[in-house]
């Protein structure tokens, strides 16, 4: 399997209307033209990036905004936190789930806790 590094780019500026959304849409499209895989996550309640990409989410669609803001979707969020752990990055690079690579590290115990939370919720 081809494992390629992933880069996360966050675009932020306290001032409105300074090309944040336009940057995301157009840099994303330009990277795709360069044969990069791009995932744009639109967390803005104005959903301008979604609209700017010509995507019609339709009435009543579940969005990231709903999951964060509405109590009725809170059960889709888990309490377990996966802490930053360099062993997880290493395990990905060697092609093993972290619980097989370093069972005793924090990353492994966090994922075991997440699995337990999922199972307990049914
Ligand atoms: N390089 C540019 N040249 C001309 N117009 C631009 C350029 N970049 C952005 N715009 C226009 O400026 C306006 C504001 O841009 P954009 O929506 O990207 O800003 P924003 O920072 O995301 O704003 P907001 O704070 O409202 O989310 C839009 O109408 C956009 O089309
Ligand atoms: Mg914007």
C-alpha to C-alpha distance for 26 and 121, rounded to whole angstroms: 41
Pick the atom of ligand 1 nearest to 25's CA: 18
Share of the chain above pLDDT 70, in %: 95
Same domain, 94 and 73: no
Judgement on whether residues 66 and 88 belong to the same structural domain of the protein: no
Q: Which position has the higher pLDDT, 114 or 45?
A: 114
19 token code pair: 């090309």
In terms of domains, do 65 and 93 share one? no
Residues 23, 60: one domain?
A: yes
- The bound ligand whose nearest atom lies closest to the alpha carbon of 25 is 1
pLDDT tens digits, one per residue of 66-106 = 777 777 666 777 899 999 999 998 998 899 999 999 999 99
Angle at 43 between CA 41 and CA 49, to 5 degrees: 65
Q: Are residues 70 and 90 in the same domain?
A: no
Top-confidence residue, 59 or 113 = 113
Q: Which carries the bigger pLDDT value, residue 61 or residue 21?
A: 21
Which of 22, 30, 51, 53 for a ligand 1 pocket mutation test, highest count of atoms within 8 Å of Cβ?
22
User: What integer is the mean pLDDT of 4-20?
Assistant: 88
What range defines the domain where residue 73 resides?
Answer: 1-77
pLDDT, position 1: 65
Phi, psi of 17 (to 5 degrees): 65, 35
Cβ atoms of 50 and 42 closer than 8 Å: yes
With a CB cutoff of 8 Å and minimum separation 6, the contacts of 75 are 121
Number of structural domains the chain divides into:
2
58 and 73 belong to one structural domain: yes
23-35 pLDDT, tens digit each? 999 999 999 999 9
Q: Are residues 6 and 63 in the same domain?
A: yes
Residue 55 and residue 115 in one domain: no
Find out whether the beta carbon of 20 lies less than 6 Å from any atom of ligand 1.
Answer: yes
pTM of the complete model = 0.63
Q: Place 14 in a pLDDT band, splitting at 50, 70 and 90.
A: confident
Over 90: is that where the pLDDT of 121 sits? Answer: no
């Amino acid at each position: 399997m081809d494992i390629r590094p992933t880069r996360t780019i966050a675009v932020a500026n306290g001032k409105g209307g300074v090309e944040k959304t336009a940057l995301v849409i157009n840099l994303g499209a330009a990277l795709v033209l360069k044969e990069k895989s791009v995932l744009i996550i639109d967390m803005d309640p104005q959903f301008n990036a979604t609209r700017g990409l010509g995507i019609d989410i339709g009435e009543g669609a579940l969005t990231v905004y709903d999951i964060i803001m509405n109590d009725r979707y809170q059960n889709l969020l888990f309490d377990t936190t996966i802490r930053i752990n360099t062993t997880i990055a290493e395990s990905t690079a060697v092609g093993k789930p972290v619980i097989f690579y370093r069972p005793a590290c924090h990353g492994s115990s966090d994922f075991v806790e997440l699995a337990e939370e999922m199972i307990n919720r049914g």
